[in-house]
Amino acid sequence: MGKNVSKKGSRQQRTARSGQRRMLGELVRESLYDTVLLSGLAHVIEVLEEERTEVCGPRYRHTEERTAQRGGRVPSSLVLGGRLVNVKRPRVRTTSGKEMSLPSWGAWSARDPLEERAIEQMLVGVSTRKYRRSLEEMPEALVGRGTFLVVIDGGKALYRAVRSVLGRRALIQRCQEHKKRNVLDALPQSKRGSVKRVLKDAFKAEDHERAERMLTNLVRSLDEQHPGAAASLREGLEDLLTVKRLGLGGSSLERTLSSTNVIENLIGQVRELSGRVKRWKSGRMILRWSAAGALEAERGFRRLKGYRQMTKLVVALQSHDATIDGTVEGRAAAA
């Protein structure tokens, strides 16, 4: 009887683990899809703006030889990821007032993957009237409302993507660990110890105003002899203290959300597992190994440090919403 109970318990555990793997696999798939779609939209916006700058010249600089001028933005749509996505298309007009089309917009709007996907869906049994229902939902970040807390490193392209997609809805927290390494790398060995202590004390301070004063004073002290380190610290300084300004200074949750360590640990474990592969045969193989790496990393997942303070964070995000348009929805996301 004991053996039967043991076997039954083992089957239940295997079933539970199998269900968890399926759920995590779906989560990984959705996260990858959302990331690709958001990045694609940010790329569209960035390329269109670059092309408009090439035609019209830099913003706020008037030149006599200019043949075109900016005409604001107009609500438009593109097929992206198999469905129509709203895009504020940059407008360009000649100096005589004639509308001009940007090259990339003309190329993108001419392609229509929606038709190909519709045909594929119908071949597998989806009627034309039910086709819209068969499409996956758009990521909430593209059509939803509410403030997002986005934790990122110092990548400028990532920063622009977040601002392009979320605008004022994004409260950006720059990774303090990345910033610390960048500043210290720009200093001679003899200076690193003292600067590291000041950075550590500033990041541990509960009051964001005091932390900002400490960092600003450090910038001034470095400006003359170590301008590279000073410039590194000055760049994005306010974004280093975003979580403190939300009222979480000195908390465990602030320490967790003030760096990208959480996601980097996961990425590191996925990279370690996928490093065993010597030859990649297809994109599906990459996805399978990414999911396998995430499943392996899941074994070490623990509760987020400071999770009990999440309610305070949500209230702070809702308060920021109220300053924009009175919405009461708040969300937090790490990238």
Q: pLDDT, tens digit, for every residue of 218-236?
A: 999 999 999 999 999 999 9
- Least confident range from 16-20, 45-49, 304-308: namely 16-20
Read off the pLDDT of each residue in 148-152 and give the average, rounded to a whole number. Answer: 91
Residue partners of 162: CB distance under 8 A and separation at least 6:
150, 152, 170, 172, 335
Residue partners of 274: CB distance under 8 A and separation at least 6:
286, 289, 290, 293
Widest CA span in the chain: 93
Read off the pLDDT of each residue in 6-18 and give the average, rounded to a whole number. Answer: 59
pLDDT digit string, tens, across residues 246-284: 999 989 999 999 999 888 888 888 888 888 888 888 888
Confidence of residue 114 (pLDDT cuts 50, 70, 90): very low
Residue holding tokens 């229902």? 133
Read off the pLDDT of each residue in 320-324 and give the average, rounded to a whole number. Answer: 78
The predicted structure's pLDDT at residue 329? 45
- Least confident range from 88-102, 118-132, 231-245: namely 118-132
Q: Which helix (H) or strand (E) holds 82?
A: none
Confidence of residue 335 (pLDDT cuts 50, 70, 90): very low
Confidence of residue 80 (pLDDT cuts 50, 70, 90): low
Q: With 0-12 CB in 10 A as exposed, 13-18 as middle and 19+ as buried, what is 96?
A: exposed
CA–CA dist 178, 175 (Å, integer): 6
CA–CA dist 49, 24 (Å, integer): 37
Q: Mean pLDDT, the chain, as a whole number?
A: 78
Supply the DSSP symbol for 88: E
Q: How many CB atoms lie within 10 A of CB 63?
A: 9
